[in-house]
């Protein structure tokens, strides 16, 4: 259950204690809101104190289906001299106080009707309150934007506030999942998301007021719904309280649903991006008499890759390791680091920006250099001299960015604006810097006879 659902379920505990509901499956609050006249509501409230349990229960059910139009009368009934009426009215008031979008008119619109997979668009959720009382919305009002270098913060928090209630499906009806980049890469984003996890925000939209809640870069922001395949997609808002009574859930009591808006994607993402299960991939390939280690961005957004390799193998360097696999063991190969043996200083130019599906060659190694290596302790059984037919040999590689999340948490804040720190580390490292350790698949370099 999400944070909103927890709150709704708790609000319904008292109501479930005092009533055994039987809600017809075809009764949906969103369709029936405002259908009860003030006179009908007064009659139903009078029945809350009836001597018949069945009559009291039916009146409670009918008041729920009257929706927010019954709220003001219930607040008055919560002060009734009749105990049964007072208890049931207070329980119903608690429910109406906690429900979201109660009685709201909701519509969606997009900033564009068609995009390629990598073109961003904004989604706006328009909420109008036609009722006579404030309604709850899942974000703080008035809305505030964090511009400039904090635009990604606004994008992420806006999405996190509304995503629980969005349903995005492709042309085949398959649900598109929300994707959120690592929140630990920005302390402000991390703190905002964690705060929402602990206490979901609630705002009050006054009677006769409306608000446009816009999520920038709906498909291309920090928190996003990636639309990677060519074709139509539908987006709708669907809110269903998570009641603690099965019949209320089955009856869809309190459900609010917007009309769907359609977005057409005119061009699919590259195959490595559409089928990826991780942000990047380390690949080995044969090019004549050489083996090339390359890193491919398989994410749907650009990534920065640390292409700085130093012999001391300490931050802010990256590290590329080669492992020779023989019939009996694997052995780390003493292959010289990419870039030669000379030392150079770390610079921002060595944090290379890769577009989705783009490849970056990290190192090219002569096959003869691998086959001719005989490191101390590496004497696998049956290993023939280089160039002769022999047992099967394979190689794989590992890429590690040593300025990972742990290093940044411990050291980065000490270096920003510090004149004693290396110049390239005095400002914040780019967001979306690849921090994951990557292992390549095994490449066979020599087959058995």
Task: Sort strands 261-265 and 114-115 into parallel, antiparallel or unpaired.
Answer: parallel
d(C-alpha 18, C-alpha 53), whole Å: 10
Per-residue CA distances from 49 to 13, 53, 245 (Å): 20, 9, 22
Question: How many other β-carbons are positioned within 10 Å of the β-carbon of residue 177?
Answer: 9
d(C-alpha 157, C-alpha 215), whole Å: 9
Phi, psi of 137 (to 5 degrees): -130, 155
Q: Are 5 and 242 in contact (CB under 8 A)?
A: yes
So what's the pLDDT on residue 54? Answer: 85
Range with the poorest average pLDDT among 68-72, 138-142, 168-172:
68-72
So what's the pLDDT on residue 231? Answer: 98
pLDDT digits (tens, 9 = 90+) for 406-416: 777 777 667 77
pLDDT digits (tens, 9 = 90+) for 351-404: 999 999 999 999 999 888 777 765 443 434 333 333 333 456 788 999 999 887
pLDDT digits (tens, 9 = 90+) for 106-152: 999 999 999 999 999 999 999 999 888 888 999 999 998 766 668 88
Burial class (CB in 10 A: 0-12, 13-18, 19+), 135: buried
| pLDDT class of 35 with cuts at 50, 70, 90 | low
Q: What is the pTM assigned to this prediction?
A: 0.81
So what's the pLDDT on residue 28? Answer: 37
Domain boundaries, the chain: 3-98, 105-268, 272-446
So what's the pLDDT on residue 18? Answer: 39
Task: Go through the chain and tell me how many residues it has.
Answer: 449
Per-residue CA distances from 302 to 108, 296, 373 (Å): 29, 11, 37
pLDDT above 90 as % of the chain: 44
Cis peptide bond upstream of 264, omega within 30: no
pLDDT digits (tens, 9 = 90+) for 258-307: 999 999 999 999 999 999 989 999 999 999 989 999 999 999 999 999 99
SS3 440: coil
| pLDDT surpassing 90 at residue 333 | no
DSSP state of 164: G
Q: Are 292 and 363 in contact (CB under 8 A)?
A: yes
So what's the pLDDT on residue 145? Answer: 77
So what's the pLDDT on residue 173? Answer: 96
Q: Are 203 and 136 in contact (CB under 8 A)?
A: yes
Per-residue CA distances from 246 to 238, 242, 249, 257, 267 (Å): 19, 9, 5, 20, 43
CATH number of 105-268: 2.60.40.2970
So what's the pLDDT on residue 123? Answer: 98
């Amino acid at each position: 259950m999400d944070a909103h659902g927890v709150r709704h379920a708790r609000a319904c505990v008292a109501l479930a204690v005092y009533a055994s509901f039987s809600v017809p499956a075809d009764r949906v609050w969103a369709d029936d809101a405002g259908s009860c006249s003030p006179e009908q509501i007064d009659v139903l409230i009078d029945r809350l104190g009836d001597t018949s349990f069945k009559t009291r229960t039916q009146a409670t059910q009918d008041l729920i289906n009257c929706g927010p139009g019954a709220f003001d009368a219930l607040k008055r009934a919560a002060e009734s001299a009749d105990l049964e009426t007072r208890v049931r009215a207070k329980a119903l008031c608690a429910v109406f106080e906690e429900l979201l979008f109660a009685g709201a008119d909701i519509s969606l619109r997009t900033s564009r009707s068609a995009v390629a997979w990598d073109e961003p668009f904004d989604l706006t959720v328009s909420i109008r309150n036609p009722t006579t009382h404030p309604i709850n919305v899942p974000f703080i009002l008035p809305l505030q934007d964090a511009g400039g270098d904090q635009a990604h913060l606004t994008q992420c928090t806006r999405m996190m506030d509304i995503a629980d209630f969005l349903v995005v499906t492709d042309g085949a009806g398959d649900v598109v999942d929300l994707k959120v980049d690592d929140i630990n890469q920005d302390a402000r984003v991390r703190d905002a998301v964690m705060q929402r996890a602990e206490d979901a925000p609630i705002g009050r939209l006054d009677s006769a007021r409306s608000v446009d809640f816009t999520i920038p870069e709906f498909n291309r922001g920090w928190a996003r719904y990636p639309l990677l395949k060519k074709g139509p997609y539908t987006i709708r808002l669907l809110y269903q309280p998570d009641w603690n009574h099965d019949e209320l859930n089955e009856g869809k009591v309190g459900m609010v649903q917007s009309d769907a808006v359609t977005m057409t994607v005119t061009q699919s993402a590259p195959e490595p991006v559409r089928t990826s299960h991780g942000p990047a991939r380390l690949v080995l390939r044969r090019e004549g008499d050489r083996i090339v280690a390359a890193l491919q961005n398989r994410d749907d957004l650009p990534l920065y890759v640390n292409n700085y390799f130093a012999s001391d193998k300490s931050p802010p360097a990256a590290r590329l390791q080669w492992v020779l696999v023989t019939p009996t063991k694997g052995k780390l190969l003493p292959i010289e680091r990419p870039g030669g043996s000379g030392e150079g200083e770390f610079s921002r130019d060595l944090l290379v920006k890769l577009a989705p599906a783009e490849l970056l060659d990290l190192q090219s190694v002569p096959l003869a250099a691998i086959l001719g290596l005989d490191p101390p302790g590496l004497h696998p059984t049956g290993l023939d001299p280089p160039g002769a037919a022999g047992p099967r040999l394979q190689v794989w590689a590992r890429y590690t960015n040593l300025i990972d999340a742990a290093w940044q948490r411990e050291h980065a804040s000490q270096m920003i604006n510090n004149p004693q720190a290396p110049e390239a580390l005095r400002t914040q490292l780019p967001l979306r810097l690849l921090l994951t350790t990557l292992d390549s698949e095994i490449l066979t370099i020599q087959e058995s006879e």
